[in-house]
Structure 1
Amino acid sequence: MSFNLPANVILPVDSIDVRLDPAPHPFERDNAEAIAAGWLEHQAGNPALFDGTMVLLSSLTYDRGVLAGVCHEVRYSTFLHWRRHPQTPGAHHAFAHAMPVSGDGALVAIRMAPHTLNAGKVYFAAGSFEPIDFVDGQVDMHRNMAREVMEETGLDLDAAVPEARHHLISTPGGVVIFRRYRFSQSADEIAAQVQAHIAADPEPEISEAVLIRDASTHPAGMMSYMPALVGWHFASA
């Protein structure tokens, strides 16, 4: 089991081969009692949390543009326990960020709603990989990104033009795999569409669209890795 990615460095990704292993994740198997106890604590603090399914990595390697890994289906409670012990050997997390770029060059991020685990945090609409994001056992990045962006913002990634290449940055909280999607609408038009989606959702996951128009814009609540992504975007736009 290996994780060889350098920390806090943006790397280009030309090929992704991350597969779903049907075997139980050793981290979940070996920490079942602690996971159950931790879930009771989380539920006491936020009864809205749901112990659904997602995936957790057992290996992830990067070599000359090729990202390869193995993950296993776990419960959300297992992921929350991992967040308390992120240095555990043989377990790591990855998630995908679609970076919506407006026709006038702004980035469209979101602020998470008060009832969510990341309440008030600002980043790009995203969610952990789930078994549904795998096709014939292999992860489909666009499938995950499109699903999460639609659920949270109402934006259709299939109406945007994707950049050919993915990139990644490895952080203590997980590996962020990201890709720019360029929309024809202006930033204000996209923000209005997102706000309409929020208003129509009885339990929205986000509270607002956050427009980032230049590299110096760092909204309150921005996730720690976001300045690196924002700086990279405006340096290479």
Structure 2
Amino acid sequence: MTSLVIHRVTTLDLAVRPIVWAFAEERRADITAHFAEKQRERPRLWNGRVLLGRDAVFTDGHLAATYFETDFASFLAWRDWGFPDTAVFNGFGMGALRTSDGAFIMGEMAQHTANEGRIYFPSGTPDLDDIRDGVLDIRGSVVRELGEETGLTATEYWAEPDWHCVVTKEAIAMIQILNLDMPGDAARARIEANLAREAEPELSAIHLVRGVSDLTPSMPRFVTAFVEQQFASR
């Protein structure tokens, strides 16, 4: 995976296997030191278990890949050190909330998170709670992350059937459009009210994207590429 490509697929086959990650084993001391430094900067960082992918294959509207379990410290070091193991990718689901007046909703990550200041759709690196019968449930991951970040439940939006898989050198963002039956300003106010009730919300601000002019450098390229494609097709 090198340059950015967007695949539109209808089915995902993401098996979870017991794989030993050589990078994490060989660089353990360096990884531990790196994470300790990051925790000093952001004490709320937690070294939980996450899932990373490898061996992605796209064929005829279908994505197949293998996932394996590792610790967040190893993932963070791999990310911060420029993705030294190129056989591995961060494959995650994103819920592209679209309002009744055509705006996309994005959240700005709060100061205490590992992605402070970044703006994107509700998402998160998959973890063990997203495994169902040995398979990674990306749809379930999206519903969970969206609920945690915005307070919205699956009864309040309807999901389009396709996944827009934005592939970059180090990631596959599996984006599903979720349609809200409310206009952008009302949706933003609803989410902001939910954030105000939380002691330490993951998001510090809510952004409405009504066109490409609303895109900013704080949005990852896989997000802006998806949005550009969506507005170009209207």
Q: TM-score scaled by structure 1?
A: 0.92
1:191 pairs with one of 176, 188, 192: 188
AA of the residue aligned to 1:50: W
Q: Provide the aligned length of Structure 1 versus Structure 2.
A: 233
Cα deviations by residue, 1:188-221 (Å, 9 ceiling, x for unpaired):
1110111011100101000111001112211452
Report the Cα distance in structure 2 between the residues aligned to 1:228 and 1:85, rounded to whole angstroms.
21
- Alignment counterpart, residue 59 of structure 1, candidates 34, 52, 55: 55
Superposed CA offset, 1:116-146 (max 9, x none): 1111111101100111111111111210000
> What is the rounded CA distance, in whole Å, between the counterparts of 1:128 and 1:79 in structure 2?
10
TM-score by length of 2: 0.93
Please state how far the C-alpha of 1:30 moved relative to its aligned partner.
Answer: 2.8
Residue 93 of structure 1 aligns to a residue in which SS? strand
Residue correspondence of structure 1 range 186-225 to structure 2 within 5 A: 186-219=183-216, 221-225=218-222
In the alignment, structure 1 residue 148 sits paired with structure 2 residue 145: yes
Equivalences for 1:126-145 in 2 at 5 Å? 126-145=123-142
Provide the C-alpha distance between the structure 2 equivalents of 1:179 and 1:159, rounded to a whole number of angstroms: 15
**Which consecutive unaligned segments of at least 5 residues does structure 1 have?**
none
State the one-letter code of the partner of 2:12.
I
**How far apart are residue 103 of structure 1 and its match?**
0.7
Equivalent residue for 1:161, pick from 158, 161, 176: 158
Q: State how far apart, in whole Å, the 2-side matches of 1:212 and 1:85 are.
A: 29
Shift of 1:184: 0.5
Please state how far the C-alpha of 1:58 moved relative to its aligned partner.
3.2
Find the aligned partners of 1:91 and 1:9 in 2 and give their Cα distance. 17
Q: Per the alignment, in what secondary structure is the counterpart of residue 225 of structure 1?
A: helix
CA shift digits 1:22-70 (9 cap, x unpaired)? 3433332232222212111211222221111111123222223221111
- Kindly report the root-mean-square deviation, in angstroms, between the aligned alpha carbons of the 2 structures: 1.6
- Equivalent residue of 2:155, what SS? helix
Structure 2 stretches lacking a partner, 5+ long? none
**Large movers: runs of 4+ above 6 Å:** none
Please give the alpha-carbon distance, in whole angstroms, between the structure 2 residues aligned to 1:171 and 1:101.
Answer: 23
1:19-168 aligned within 5 A: 19-83=15-79, 84-168=81-165
